[in-house]
Amino acid sequence: MKKKALVSWSSGKDSAWTLHVMRQADEYEIAGLLTTINAKFDRVAMHGTRRTLLEAQAEAAGLPLRTIPLPWPCSNEQYEAAMRKACAQAVADGIEVIAFGDLFLEDVRRYREEKLAGTGLTPVFPIWGLPTNALVREMIASGLRARIVCVDPRKLPREFAGKDLDEGILNAMPAEVDRCAERGEFHTAAYAGPMFRYAIPVESGEIVERDGFVFADVKVAD
C-alpha cells in the first residue's frame, strides 16, 4: 500500500515539478497540496500569489488544497507553531510523507528534517541535487509555464518581474543568478504543464515594490 504524501506547494515551478516527478515515479499516493498563506493579504507567503490562482492550480492538478494561515508580520515562533498544528492534522488524516521542492541548500533541507523529526511525517526531496541549469530547461521543454511574480532586485533587475520564464528570459539573466532561483533571486507562479490537467488562463496585474522586493500580480483571467 502506497504511503500518502502531501506536496509542499509554493505555487511556483519547483513545487509543480516536484508533483510531476512524484506522479511519474508512482511511489506515493498524492493526497494534496500544502501551502502557507499570508492571512493579511490572502496570498501565498513570499510569492504573493493570489489565493484564487492557488485554488485554480489545485483544481487543475486535481488535488485538494490545504492552507496554513500565517499572521503578518509573522515571527519564526508563530510560523513553527502553525506548522506543528498542520503536521499534527496531516498525521491524523493518515498522511505519512511531505515532499519538498528544494534543490541544493543544505541548511534548508536540514531545517525541514529537524522540524519534522518525531512528528510522524517523513520529508522527501524528489528533485534534490538535480543540476538547476538543465532542470529549468527540462521544465520548459516539458510544457511547464510559469510567470515571475517576485524579484529580489539586489540579485535580479526588477524588469524581470511579470515576465514568463522561457529560454529568452533565462539567457538574459546575469550569469551569477541560479536559473532555478534556489537562492531566492526570483519566485514564480506556474500556470501550465504536465502536472496540470489543463492550462490556467492568467493575466498580469500591477507591479509594486514592497519590503525590498518587486511583486508582479498575476490573476486568473475572466
How many independent structural domains does the chain possess? 2
CB 55 within 8 A of CB 23: no
Is 5:31 a contact under the CB 8 Å cutoff?
yes
For residues 90 and 73, the model is more confident at 90
- Write out the residue range of the structural domain in which residue 168 sits: 142-220
Q: Please report which confidence band the pLDDT of residue 178 belongs to, taking 50, 70 and 90 as the band edges.
A: very high
Contact 33, 95 (CB under 8 A): no
Residue 132 placed within a domain: no
Three-class DSSP labels, the chain: CCEEEEEECCCCHHHHHHHHHHHHHCCEEEEEEEEEEECCCCEECCCCCEHHHHHHHHHHHCCCEEEEEECCCCCHHHHHHHHHHHHHHHHHCCCCEEECCCCCCHHHHHHHHHHHCCCCCEEECCCCCCCHHHHHHHHHHHCCEEEEEEECCCCCCHHHCCCECCHHHHHHCCCCCCCCCCCCCEEEEEEECCCCCCCCCEEEEEEEEECCEEEEEEEECC
Q: Which of 95, 124, 153 is the last residue of a domain?
A: 124
Position 206 confidence tier, pLDDT thresholds 50, 70, 90: very high
Handedness of CA 153, 182, 12, 136 (dihedral sign): positive
pLDDT per residue as tens digits for the range 126-142? 999 999 999 999 999 99
Residue 181 backbone dihedrals phi, psi, to 5 degrees: 60, 40
**Banded model confidence at residue 51, pLDDT cuts 50, 70, 90:** very high
Specify if 131 maps to a domain: no
Q: Give the confidence band of 41 by pLDDT, cuts at 50, 70, 90.
A: confident
Please check whether residue 20 is in contact with residue 33, taking contact to mean a CB–CB distance below 8 angstroms.
no
Residue 143 binned pLDDT confidence (cut-offs 50, 70, 90): very high
**What would the mean pLDDT of 33-59 be, rounded to a whole number?**
92
Is the same domain home to 77 and 173? Answer: no
pLDDT at residue 47 in the model: 84
Strands 43-44 and 28-38, bridge-based pairing:
antiparallel
pLDDT band of residue 46 (cuts 50, 70, 90) is confident
Indicate whether 95 and 179 sit together in one domain. Answer: no
Query: Is the separation of the CB atoms in 63 and 32 below 8 Å?
Result: yes
Residue 72 located in a structural domain: yes
Answer whether residue 129 is part of any domain. Answer: no
Record the pTM: 0.95
Q: Quick one: pLDDT at residue 40?
A: 87
Statement to judge: residues 114 and 169 lie in one domain? no
pLDDT band at residue 163 under the 50/70/90 scheme: very high
List Cβ neighbours of 141 (8 Å cut-off, separation of 6 or more): none
The confidence band for 39, taking pLDDT boundaries of 50, 70 and 90, is confident
End-to-end CA distance of the chain: 41
**CATH code for position 9:** 3.40.50.620
